[in-house]
Structure 1
């Protein structure tokens, strides 16, 4: 009888790839986790119980066929594992690095619920695709037949790139327009290199270019090119701009120098640390934490990126203010632990009331909070504790309070583009279709600030809808 390759979770303990020591890793912007070796990846994959109802798969936005590619990895059939992984996920090596697996696939693993520790799904996913790149299994699009239709995609983030890949593989002519000088969106300029090294993103951009996707960079719609011009040049247009408008802070002194937006801070750091770009605001110290007392306000993944970036830039101290407690923070618990290991101090149940220092910030006036009754979402609402204010010294304050949609109707001169009361583009979730003929929208500009994996899902679903609509038009024209 053949030896059972799976169900080893009783005998084999959960193990993550080796994590670099905090004293070493906080000195650079390299990824903190080492790569699994082949034997270790197979061993950890073999812990999968191959359960009849795979909750890991059902709780993955892409519904990745996780049990199958774990089984194939456990038996050494890595090229087949990659083929299955790639069939549902355009960028598995990126999701393996940055998805909050503790809230998605791994958090719903059956053996985790039984007390044996989840399968390390994300690390195996990363290993499979990194191995595929090393062995030349990752191929650019090579459609069997070219189509005459063209699609313009506004935004080179994960949603736009996922749609571009799917459409190009079907033979459609694809042009991606982006305001930045490189593709990738927040994958490139928002997420730090210690979570996602930039050569991982750049090789995907290169793969898309080799497959025939055309990129137009430094193109701001509404300024360099009108939305109407883009519509006139293509048979369909996909809006995949993401959400870049930062939520702001109010209170006395909120306009002082030294109080900066998270997106500006992270973009400057990524440019300098990962690409060697010259950024004047970084060189001047405006967006550089070196030698400073840093306070980051917020409790999401962007806040975690900011505090860990400040540590690497050589901050004197880094503190994070969040108005709820640790159990109620929206960011990944894994990232919070990494930040604490690197020297970040978390001040739970605190919120800013104002800022001291006049023209240049010198301190944050902090209010202590307690959790009261649940709000509409079911989370306990923070309540102010009267008379608990204190001043937290700060030379640099980073606002990481989340993102909202930009006013596309105004920026693009497109009042006909319908938006919701939140400013997101009004579109069907399953297809991305808007009320404008031939115009679709995907990702955060529809959902609001969300996860990369959801943007990829939206991009792939939208590509399917665009192809169906193009095929329907072609069929009508042929009659």
Structure 2
């Protein structure tokens, strides 16, 4: 049944039902249920249908949010899915893990006018989950097959999005990844309570069904050099992401019990997928019965603290040098963590990890004061003299972000152009590097960022590759015609 829009005057914003904290901390299942059709349509009908849709403007993909909210409110779900998927290769994933409070929902006019934002992410998830249930999600079938081939290094969100877009053009696509599953951080970095793994696995199957060749456990530089892949394909896209953890640089950081975030999260996710994880079985990567301190304030830190809660840690603390208002992660994630029993130690930074019986036993921290703003506009944290405190810590997890690996060395390609930060240097329009036919997308270009930006970059790179291959074909045809005329 069709509904009138602008129902925010009579309907409050309401997320789908969230499982009680005491229940959800016992498992790794997603914490939100989905909308039923009626509540989903009602929440969509709250949209004001703004003349200038700031939600769309502040979405990296420029999703046509007001359009698919209107269609959802009218019960036209298949059309809503068509509009949603036209700009996003994985809307049900973005609906689950995007920090909407910092993007579309945070920019919603209703949120700014204190009427409460439209629950855009939850409706986006509702639309695509419905589409999967109804069988509307189908693999790409290009109108014609092209002979040119494209190799994509990295099967994370950027590589997956690019592969699907290139198949729409009819190119023969091979997706290479050094891990044993498709998905990158979607499968091994993000816990199941935010993104259940079958959601990612069905996207991987969709790519295979669309004709994408997937080669796993394939490491560039070991199984083939970048030069060899360039010989094999008409174009190459590098979408490896950034996996090198920023080190915790304090005395005691090398003690047993101090772990990088990704090692910890990967072990937990592998366990959920049914894999054998010896370091978990030995207790090294199991937080059960331990006092856990996580250092950092981003979404990865939130993933770690909430994972430790579910593993049965005795206590879980998040140590962050700024206050809550200045945290880079999603405020919704902070709220969820607090509900589940995480303690936040704001305005505090680690000074040392204390050795007790040859391993981490405590973290010595110092209180911080937010001083003068730096060049980015953020206040600089400065230590308060004499304000040291100690926190019990059998397990210390460093979640300070990620940096690029040394790709020129790893790929056996010393001439691969990179910036002084180690990210790929690309043309902002074509997404091509200075190496002919080699493109870049996602975190390996922009630095550690959001999944939605990786999807956007993957789509843009696919169009850059298409333009490049077509220009080469046109030049070849023109050259051939010129030679024919000359003869």
Q: What TM-score comes out, normalization by structure 1 length? A: 0.98
5+ long unaligned stretches in structure 2: 479-487
Count of residues in Structure 1 that have an aligned counterpart in Structure 2: 477
Please list the CA deviations of residues 178-211 of structure 1 after superposition, one character each: whole Å capped at 9, or x if unmatched.
Answer: 0100000000000000000000000000000000
Aligned equivalent of 1:249: 248
Contact 2:305 2:337 in 1 (8 A): yes
Aligned equivalent of 1:411: 410
Please list the CA deviations of residues 88-121 of structure 1 after superposition, one character each: whole Å capped at 9, or x if unmatched.
Answer: 0000000000000000000011111111101000
Measured in 2, the distance between the counterparts of 1:402 and 1:3 equals 46
Aligned equivalent of 1:357: 355
How far the C-alpha of 1:431 sits from its partner, in A, is: 2.8
Please list the CA deviations of residues 32-63 of structure 1 after superposition, one character each: whole Å capped at 9, or x if unmatched.
Answer: 00000000010000000101000000000000
| 1:329 maps to which of 314, 327, 330 | 327
Measured in 1, the distance between the counterparts of 2:427 and 2:121 equals 30
Please list the CA deviations of residues 408-464 of structure 1 after superposition, one character each: whole Å capped at 9, or x if unmatched.
Answer: 111112111111111100012333110010000000000000000000000001101
How far the C-alpha of 1:3 sits from its partner, in A, is: 7.7
Please list the CA deviations of residues 115-161 of structure 1 after superposition, one character each: whole Å capped at 9, or x if unmatched.
Answer: 11010000000000000001110010111110000000000000010
How far the C-alpha of 1:387 sits from its partner, in A, is: 1.2
5+ long unaligned stretches in structure 1: none
Distance 1:287 1:4, change over 3 A: closer
Contact 2:2 2:75 in 1 (8 A): no
How far the C-alpha of 1:4 sits from its partner, in A, is: 5.9
Measured in 2, the distance between the counterparts of 1:428 and 1:469 equals 13
Contact 2:28 2:310 in 1 (8 A): yes
How far the C-alpha of 1:81 sits from its partner, in A, is: 0.4
Aligned equivalent of 2:305: 307
How far the C-alpha of 1:391 sits from its partner, in A, is: 1.7
Measured in 1, the distance between the counterparts of 2:400 and 2:265 equals 14
Contact 2:236 2:438 in 1 (8 A): yes
Aligned equivalent of 1:341: 339
Measured in 2, the distance between the counterparts of 1:429 and 1:239 equals 15
Aligned equivalent of 2:288: 290
How far the C-alpha of 1:475 sits from its partner, in A, is: 1.6
Aligned equivalent of 2:6: 7
Measured in 2, the distance between the counterparts of 1:9 and 1:462 equals 39
The equivalences for 1:322-471 within 5 A come to 322-357=320-355, 359-471=358-470
Contact 2:225 2:411 in 1 (8 A): yes
Give the 3-state SS of the residue equivalent to 1:354 in structure 2.
strand
The equivalences for 1:274-289 within 5 A come to 275-289=273-287
Q: Which one is further off, 383-392 or 293-302? A: 383-392
Measured in 2, the distance between the counterparts of 1:347 and 1:114 equals 32
Q: Which one is further off, 154-163 or 349-358? A: 349-358
Aligned equivalent of 1:316: 314
How far the C-alpha of 1:471 sits from its partner, in A, is: 1.1
Contact 1:295 1:318 in 2 (8 A): yes
Give the 3-state SS of the residue equivalent to 1:229 in structure 2.
helix
How far the C-alpha of 1:8 sits from its partner, in A, is: 0.5
How far the C-alpha of 1:390 sits from its partner, in A, is: 1.9
Structure 1 position 87 matched with structure 2 position 86: yes
Aligned equivalent of 1:16: 15
Contact 1:154 1:178 in 2 (8 A): yes
How far the C-alpha of 1:478 sits from its partner, in A, is: 2.1
Contact 2:13 2:43 in 1 (8 A): yes
Give the 3-state SS of the residue equivalent to 1:307 in structure 2.
helix
Measured in 1, the distance between the counterparts of 2:327 and 2:437 equals 40
Measured in 2, the distance between the counterparts of 1:94 and 1:399 equals 26
Give the 3-state SS of the residue equivalent to 1:357 in structure 2.
strand
Distance 1:3 1:315, change over 3 A: closer
Distance 1:133 1:383, change over 3 A: same
Aligned equivalent of 1:69: 68
After TM superposition, where is structure 1 displaced by more than 6 Å over at least 4 residues in a row?
A: none
Aligned equivalent of 2:481: none
Structure 1 position 60 matched with structure 2 position 55: no
Aligned equivalent of 2:257: 258
Measured in 2, the distance between the counterparts of 1:125 and 1:431 equals 29
Give the 3-state SS of the residue equivalent to 2:193 in structure 1.
coil
Measured in 1, the distance between the counterparts of 2:335 and 2:341 equals 10
